Amino acid sequence: MSAERRRLLVAALVFFAALGVYAPVRQHGFVDYEDDLYVTENPHLADGFGWDDVRRAFAEPYETNWIPLTWISLGVDRALYGTSPAGYHVTNALLHAASAALLCLALANATGALAPAAFVAAVFAVHPLRVESVAWVSERKDVLAGFFFMLTLLAWVAYARRPGVARYGAVLVAFSAGLLAKAVGVTLPFVLLLLDFWPLARQHPLTRVGAPPFGGERKHRIGRLLVEKVPLLGIAAVVACVTFTVQQQGGATAWFAELPLQARVENAVVSVAWYAQKTFWPAELAVFYPHPGSEISVDAVGRAAFALLAVTLLALALARHRPWLLMGWLWFLGMLVPMLGLVQVGMQSRADRYAYLPVIGLQIAVAWEAWAWLGRGRAGRAVAAVVAGAVLVTLTVATRDQLATWRDGATLFEHALRTTRDNFIAHDSLGRAYLRAGDFDGAIEQLSAALRIQPRWPEPRASLGEALLGKGRVDEAVWNCHEAVRLDPASAELRVQLAHVLLAAGWIDDAIVELREALRRDDGQRAARIHGLLGLAHGRRGDAARATAHLQQAIALDPGAVTPRASLGALLLQQGDAAGAERELRAALGAGAEQPELHSALGDALRTQGRDAEAIEEYRAALRAQPRHRAAANNLAWLLAAAADPALRAPDEALRWADVAVAATQRRDASLLDTLAVSQAAAGRFAEAVATLDAALALVPADPGEQRAGEQRARLLERRALFAAGHPYLEAPRR
């Protein structure tokens, strides 16, 4: 077998090994940490993906990032997979596996040493530090940029072998594509210069390990090697400026704007040592590591600085005869520089994803040093194979364990809390996950913990307000949301959350004021949601015309939105337009929403039109999704007990659902008790039906000034007389 075919075969094995390690991601969901912003609630992806979206990806930065190629990639996935997470995860895994295979080819072509190249690529494929970049859908930018990074390395080796315009053009294209995926590649020209030093030895001959892949290379002056990088550096400078400007305008650099330079430098020094340590001992990894601010000990900084200086001096001393050590070490240091927080972006001190490409340098240094010692004899190679196999198996096991923590948001952040201290992001994210799951006590506990660490952080303050509202603590809920807006009055999102709480508390006019201000401050990303809430608010206020206008505007802005269609359907039903309500509710269900409220409301619309059989099916659909849905249980029980069509009646089932509805209110709702009595009478239990109606009548005031209460009492008394005479209540047939 030729050397080229052998390299391709090994690269293919690396590719499939990487896919095998990451196979479990097919069962993973999205996590409650930016996946909503990037995919599930990204307004730019909501209506499919077309050429206008390609233009927008380049022209309109989103969520403090200018990563147009990543947005295009996610848009293609959205068109293929919708909001099903499996496809997105598989794409990430495929890109990572392809990057590992390309790295194997690039290093093997550059050095002529297939064994260490394969080991470095395999370690890249299965190292636990890569899990965050692969298992997190939002980090598509990492694996996509990594793919083009490896493609650039491969193109550069081909160019170094036979310089030419076409080959250099391939380098420029691959390099530019990587930067359009994520600006992490801005230091790649520096890495290419290191490749020129070793293993390509384009400036002067150096020690090689392995057979030279191409002999008789022309040596170039250092000036020419630098000039070759000028176009790459120019592209990198432009992308870096655009990226920083977008992040600055989006507020990504604001959190630690006041962090002293000394604290940033100290954290950078300690972080370099941390990344090196985790390369060799990848334990206690987490999705977020809180920034220590100015609390890093002098001792920790001193130890890290001494270790870094010692390794640097050693690599320099051995550079002539062991150039891979210096090349790998400088690769590691150089690629880390933009990620060390010297210009702080975000709230983290460091991140696993930042190591995705830099630690390749350390792996190269170790692999080629080991091969220099063991690769010359048969016995040494056997030892190397055994050690390499043990390392790869150990890393694979650790990666599978780390991968399991990414299966859902709650598991991810519970793990982060076990492995870090004062992790306010983990507390906040776990609290919001509990909030979405309806665990208000758990949400309050976690969000309160986040605020004890960062008391001036507005987002968890607003989420705490929503959790408190869920517990019925209305005044506390409103205070917390008001406090969140006070801390960040420019945030449209916080005003929307405040309005939501105000609406739930019944403070409709105040909610409308906040929503109008939110609409004024919004950048267009929340307009549909704000109009939907305004429609809901005006509907509760009794202003049907304004409510309808706002809801229709919300639907026009986001045709796939469910809530405004559901609200418009309920409003049309109140106005007597059952057919219009049915149209909107079916459209909401057709958009992929399966909320029980939609099925229940559609049942009401069908029932109003006399289509009882269809209404029964919708109520049952609502109860399959939420077995204790009070309105659906009550309405289903009524139809099963009193439907005009005898074929639809099922008294025993009616009794079961009527009990469910009544239990939800501890028998304190007269209307629900009325349904229970009708169900009891349908089952022939007339004495129980009379007693149930007596309990219902006790809940309805007998005040003659209360017209609605008087009408309700009259209906209850009429049915009581019917049941006392031993007759069930049945609805009259509709014509």
Q: Cα separation of 533 and 220, whole Å? A: 67
Which comes out higher in pLDDT, residue 188 or 732? 188
Tell me which DSSP letter residue 562 carries: S
Tell me which DSSP letter residue 29 carries: -
For residue 385, pLDDT over 70 is answered with: yes
Quickly state the pLDDT bin for 561 (edges 50, 70, 90): confident
Nearest residue to 550 (alpha-carbon basis) of 499, 485, 586: 499
Rounded mean pLDDT of 300-317?
96
> How many C-beta neighbours within 10 Å does residue 506 have?
10
CATH class of 650-735: mainly alpha
Q: Which amino acid is at 673?
A: L
pLDDT tens digits, residue range 325-335?
999 999 999 99
- How does DSSP assign 580-622, residue by residue? HHHHHHHHHHHTT---HHHHHHHHHHHHHTT-HHHHHHHHHHH
And the tokens for 456?
A: 């001036």
Say which range, 135-144, 390-399, 552-561, 722-731, has the weakest mean pLDDT: 552-561
Q: Which pLDDT value is given to residue 209?
A: 52
Rounded mean pLDDT of 159-181?
95
Annotated domain spans of the chain: 3-404, 498-557, 650-735
Question: If phi over 0 gives left and psi between -120 and 50 gives alpha, with beta otherwise, what is residue 2?
Answer: beta
Q: Which pLDDT value is given to residue 709?
A: 75
For residue 117, pLDDT over 50 is answered with: yes
Helices 707-724 and 686-699 cross at an angle (nearest 10°) of 160
And the tokens for 369?
A: 């040093």
Q: Is the peptide bond before 43 cis (omega within 30 degrees of 0)?
A: no
Rounded mean pLDDT of 178-193?
94
Rounded mean pLDDT of 146-155?
98
Q: Which amino acid is at 99?
A: S
Which comes out higher in pLDDT, residue 256 or 363? 363
Q: Which pLDDT value is given to residue 558?
A: 81
For residue 253, pLDDT over 60 is answered with: no
Mean pLDDT of the chain, nearest integer: 89
Q: Which pLDDT value is given to residue 257?
A: 53
- Fold agreement between 498-557 and 650-735: yes
Q: Which amino acid is at 418?
A: R
Q: Which pLDDT value is given to residue 240?
A: 87
For residue 572, pLDDT over 50 is answered with: yes
Nearest residue to 138 (alpha-carbon basis) of 88, 187, 179: 88
CA angle, 185 then 176 then 142, to 5°:
40
CATH no. for 498-557: 1.25.40.10
Which comes out higher in pLDDT, residue 10 or 251? 10
Nearest residue to 107 (alpha-carbon basis) of 183, 210, 230, 215: 210
Q: Are 653 and 642 in contact (CB under 8 A)?
A: no
For residue 449, pLDDT over 80 is answered with: yes
Rounded mean pLDDT of 72-89?
92
And the tokens for 249?
A: 């305008």
Quickly state the pLDDT bin for 494 (edges 50, 70, 90): very high
Quickly state the pLDDT bin for 703 (edges 50, 70, 90): low
Q: Which pLDDT value is given to residue 214?
A: 46
Burial class (CB in 10 A: 0-12, 13-18, 19+), 259: middle
Q: Which pLDDT value is given to residue 217?
A: 47
CA angle, 76 then 79 then 85, to 5°:
90
* SS3 state at 700: coil
Rounded mean pLDDT of 118-122?
98
Which comes out higher in pLDDT, residue 168 or 246? 168
Quickly state the pLDDT bin for 8 (edges 50, 70, 90): very high
Q: Which amino acid is at 405?
A: T
Global model pTM greater than 0.85? no
